[in-house]
Amino acid sequence: MTGWQALLYKEVLRFWKVGFQTVAAPVLTALMYLLIFGHVLSDRVKVYDQISYTAFLVPGLVMMSVLQNSFANSSSSLIQSKIMGNLVFVLLTPLSHWSWFIAYVGSSVARGLSVGLGVFLVTAWFAHISFVAPLWIVVFALLGAGMLGALGLIAGLWAEKFDQMAAFQNFIIMPMTFLSGVFYSIHSLPEFWQRVSHLNPFFYMIDGFRYGFFGVSDVSPWVSLGIVGGAMLAVSAVAVHLLRIGYKIRG
């Protein structure tokens, strides 16, 4: 293997060896969301014509799981390595900042997509799911996982303690995912909160991803693609720059 391939293999192996915790547990959590919200709200919430609320939930839960687990993978790996002191063994290698970026973000994409696929396979039994535009599904899943993997890389470089990482996840990642239209269409919100939702890039990831299943969405998938693609480039540029200067990892 080349250097970046070895680091990528190490990072994938890190989460896969504890797959019961890193893959199976998020799948079970998403299934609980579907059973509870689908049972309670299926007869009370109307989103799109001829689409049941349970079917509406499935793509949102899949994408939410992809985003949260992609972020968790790169961020947890870096903060654990920094606190335990074994990051020095990676720093001793002649790997470039691009190799670090590809390995950490690549493993985050692998974990996010693995969890997302597991969530879909489990939840799809409870609703009729169609695939109107499969290419949009793949594009938004990859962009979303890549962006959150890069964002997790930034958070892992910035955080020095576990509570700092927990604060980043609890006050930024969780609110942005839950307020992105996973459980509702933003058209059901008051006008002010619709405008606020349009400031959330996570909304465009989930809305574009959902378009691939049903062919309907709250905004044009091309608009979502432009916003998500721009956000992905911006976050990746910041992550690569921090790696290049060795932010909080080199003395």
pTM of this structure: 0.93
- Residue 105 located in a structural domain: yes
- Residue 250 located in a structural domain: no
- Residue 136 located in a structural domain: yes
Tokens found for residue 86: 């074994």
Range of the domain at 43: 3-245
HEC assignment per residue over 63-126: HHHHHHHHHHHHHHHHHHHHHHCCHHHHHCCCCCHHHHHHHHHHHHHHHHHHHHHHHHHHHHHH
- Residue 234 located in a structural domain: yes
Task: Return the pLDDT at 44.
Answer: 65
- Residue 137 located in a structural domain: yes
The whole-number average pLDDT for the span 206-216 is: 93
The total domain count for the chain is: 1
- Residue 141 located in a structural domain: yes
pLDDT tens for each residue of 54-85: 889 999 999 999 999 999 999 999 999 999 88
Range scoring the smallest mean pLDDT among 18-27, 42-51, 169-178: 42-51
- Residue 27 located in a structural domain: yes
Q: How far apart are CA 133 and CA 117, in angstroms?
A: 17
- Residue 226 located in a structural domain: yes
Instruction: Check whether 110 has a pLDDT greater than 70.
Output: yes
Task: Return the pLDDT at 251.
Answer: 58
Q: How far apart are CA 157 and CA 242, in angstroms?
A: 8
